Structure 1
């Protein structure tokens, strides 16, 4: 039996999740071992999640909802829990990204987070956060769920060609990642252009950036450094960056040509 401790539900989303799991389990008259048997895990795992020693997964949350008849409580809470595990400076951007109706991004080094495979994300996040990268991978995968909504945001991505050649996680991981990108060719909401090496100097030489557009709120510009992000709705900045993004699109391969390049690099470099 996991040692029970008092939880403050207001301390964090994870504490609230754990306290609700304990409360609803006890209301159902189930021990940790009994609930674990119902949802195909150990009682120890249930106890660790109740005491915030482990981060719940989506699979665990959905099974707990079904077993305890919560109407989806834990599945809804999970998004808050995982978002709270992101770096504090990044959380405001993720919240706004989820509300945006149109996302434009230029990425010069890495695949944009919304389009990363789990193994690619794991390889990236394991470099700087070996102690907690699993929860950050889960948070990144959760973040991608906005693309599965009935009406997802329109996402336009310009990738520097170097992104295709920067091997992250090994050949197999990169091959899977590039195949994943090529698969978006059939999506009506996601468009990918590759900015080729042959473009030479261009409007994105200063680094990656994102533009978020909303149905009712002001547009936003976002860029980040190693350990912090910068976000502004300054109209002049938005005007300049929007023009710069249009110039990047004009210098890039068409979406159809970009897919052809992605497929070719996959076969020749990682195949």
Structure 2
């Protein structure tokens, strides 16, 4: 490895140690912290429209009358705490935003947001660390709701070592690191396909959560120019692929990965509900062999 790569690896290693678990047709205005001052009926209506549900459909699924739902949304009826939670469940509202609904209705928040080093999250933290370590020699990382890296295994650092120091300064954003011209982008062989995949995935998150920070991140990433020397955009053949691979030029040669996402299945803590493990598996035998050899 060159000294520049080693410096980059060391910078990223420090970040890992610091953070290791220590517009669609229905687009609406982003939800923000200030929305606690808005009525719960307004917020519920926006979530219903965002989920593309009619009042009749939501009322049917919630087993309440359409008249009652209409009264709640218009502010003519004040929903109980249980009704707020019942409707939020039917609308699949994220835990963080369920708290917003409760506050808007005049109730105390229900879900806590603990730091990752909180003793109550010790078992979950250990599970994440076990998954990350167990995935070596293949790269894996844990990210928060805004794609900031909170932990990673040792296989990731060598792949990002050539990135600009500014991109490796905490908090490290995985999507920015991947697509920025001074990040991994110049070494991504199929940059156009990978970019399209990441932006589409990010848009799905925005559609589901209406998160203003994710909207801003999407706009930023979409504005990045193609890296110098990037192959022209084209419709790649998918005949021999099962998913969009990440094809990366490295000191070990070209490596190809498929990504998977793991989340906690039944979280009642906001931090856990927003935590995801992104694990990359070899997409071909050459990649698997190269990484196993490097580990040995």
| TM-score in terms of structure 2 length | 0.30
Instruction: Report the TM-score, using the length of structure 1 for normalisation.
Output: 0.32
Q: Which has the higher helix share?
A: 1
Structure scoring higher RCO (CA < 8 A, sep ≥ 6) equals 2
